[in-house]
Structure 1
Amino acid sequence: GGTDRVDNLCLACHDCNQRKGSKTAEEFGYPHIQKQVKESLKDASAVNSTRWKVYEVLKQSGCEVECGTGARTKMNRIRLDLPKTHYFDACCVGESTPNHLYFKTKEVLFIRAKGRGSRSRTNLDRYGFPRGYLARQKFFFGFQTGDMVKAVIPRGKYQGVWFGEVSCRKTGSFDIKGKDGKRIAQGINYRYVQVIQRFDGYTYRREGMNIA
């Protein structure tokens, strides 16, 4: 039941559909399909509505531009025996994909737009009540939240060398987060911290290629 919205539609054979009845996909034994119902399609809509305009503008610029269908990309990827990932798909777009690909690195750089915060100075709980107030300043002791840092801690619970994203407090007691966003070191004095890269609105992480 429900609307004719795209993410509410599916393909099913008559017998399976009769057995499912009014159950949800999760109740019928397919929780991974149920998760897709809650996913927003706004990103896909934005890409679909702008990609041809971007292509036309690039062609008018005089640059050499090539595009290809999803079917050709898949064919090239299967021919080269590469796993299904975004970065390998990018290597397989278009007719010019060579018969052999040689990779000069075994790592992939992931870049994610994070933004530079918001004008809101209050954190709210799930009910909308304030649970904390953010400082009006961005920089503390020469650091700002989001900077990539190296911390060399000589003693204590977190003794050792730590790399990650810093979360600042005006007291000078900083936290460091790992690539998964979880805190790996807490309450680190700013004197033990040095900047590797200033925060620029993006997060960066390197991972090994998913290839044999």
Structure 2
Amino acid sequence: LEKFDRKCVYCGKSGVVLNVEHIIPKARGGSNRVSNLAIACVQCNQKKGAMPIEDFLKKKPALLAQIRKQLKTPLRDAATVNATRWSLFRSLQAMGGAVAVGSGALTKFNRHAFCVPKEHWLDALCAGRINGVADWENLRPLQAYCIGRGSHKRTRTDKYGFPLCYFSRRKRPNDFGTGDYVRVKVTRGINAGIWTGRATLTNGKLSVETKVGRVKATFQNGKVLFKNDGYKYQYL
């Protein structure tokens, strides 16, 4: 479902009953390997029957090439979650908090029963045996994703490997660095006021990423709240 975006691979319909589809039919020696499986609506599944996919899509070569490309797409994210979920569960239990778990079918049942839209972060509210989900409309998930801490490389090279320019050796002028979460005070201009956000250093000058855009500031009127830890945080 995740690989094919919960849509029929042949007609693109979503929100309908989907069947597991064998690209090479089992009647012709096809296997149950993941690389031979797709999802299709009932109508397309019955229409294709035991036909080879080359014959079924002989008038749609672009769609055939797209399906073959999708079949080879690895599910890295899903594999990572499956490999680490029980370790995460045991770690959360060891912290002493109340942790609820349940099957995907139970999560889907709760989501439909309490009219909660399909989102990964809302699925966490619907997991396990629950009596209801209240006030989810006013919740905002905090997204954290890895951006790194910059590069050790202090030159930029051309296609032959010769240096084009050199970067400053100091990555933290005035103890500020790109990725730090800072609070700055702007004393003049249309952006006058106090702003907090992620700092960006360009040509030795300080800017802060805010809800209204990028605000320029000075080092003298700024304070580092916490330094860059390699992740960027934002509310969705």
TM-score tier (shorter): 0.5 to 0.7
Distance apart, 1:189 and its partner CA: 3.1
Residue 125 of structure 2 is aligned to residue 91 of structure 1: yes
Per-residue Cα deviation, 1:54-85 (whole angstroms, up to 9, x for no partner): 54x55995966542111111111111111111
Residue 91 of structure 1: how far off its partner (Å): 0.7
- How far 1:152 sits from its partner (Å)? 3.2
Cα gap change, 1:131 to 1:45, in 2 (>3 Å): farther
The one-letter code sitting in structure 2 at the alignment partner of 1:73 is: T
TM-score normalised by the chain length of structure 2: 0.59
1:11 aligns with 2:11: no
- Cα offset, 1:46, TM superposition: 1.7
Residue in structure 2 matching 1:23, options 42, 62, 81: 62
Paired residues for 1:34-113 under 5 Å:
41-55=75-89, 57-58=90-91, 61=94, 65-95=99-129, 97-102=130-135, 106-113=139-146
Q: 3-state DSSP class of the match of 1:87?
A: helix
Partner of 1:184: 214
- 1:146 CA displacement: 0.8
CA distance in 1, matches of 2:224, 2:199: 9
Assess, with a 3 A threshold, how the Cα gap between structure 1 residues 206 and 25 changes in structure 2: closer, same or farther.
farther
CA distance in 1, matches of 2:165, 2:99: 50
1:195 to 220, 224, 229: 224
Partner of 2:121: helix, strand, or coil?
Answer: helix
Closer/same/farther in 2, CA of residues 116 and 85 from structure 1, 3 Å limit: same
Matches within 5 A, 1:104-143: 106-123=139-156, 132-143=165-176
Higher relative contact order structure (alpha carbons within 8 Å, sequence separation ≥ 6): 1
Spell out, residue by residue over 1:155-182, the C-alpha distance to the aligned partner (whole angstroms, 9 max, x if none): 45x64344432122574x22333469xx
Sort the Cα spacing of 1:144 and 1:38 in 2 relative to 1 into closer, same or farther, 3 A. Answer: farther
Q: Equivalents in 2 of 1:43, 1:128: separation in Å?
A: 34
Distance 1:167 1:66 in 2: 40
Where 2:183 maps in the other structure, the secondary structure is strand
- Which whole-Å CA distance do the structure 1 matches of 2:135 and 2:164 have between them? 52
CA offset at residue 94 of structure 1? 1.2
* Deviation (angstroms), 1:122: 3.8
Q: SS where residue 168 of structure 1 aligns? A: strand
User: How far off its partner does 1:154 sit?
Assistant: 3.4
Larger radius of gyration: 2
Provide the rounded CA distance (Å) in 2 between the counterparts of 1:9 and 1:53.
29
**Deviation readout 1:32-68 (Å, 9 max, x if unpaired):** x89977976322222222334554x559959665421
Whether contact under 8 Å (1:114, 1:203) holds in the other structure is yes
Distance 2:196 2:64 in 1: 42
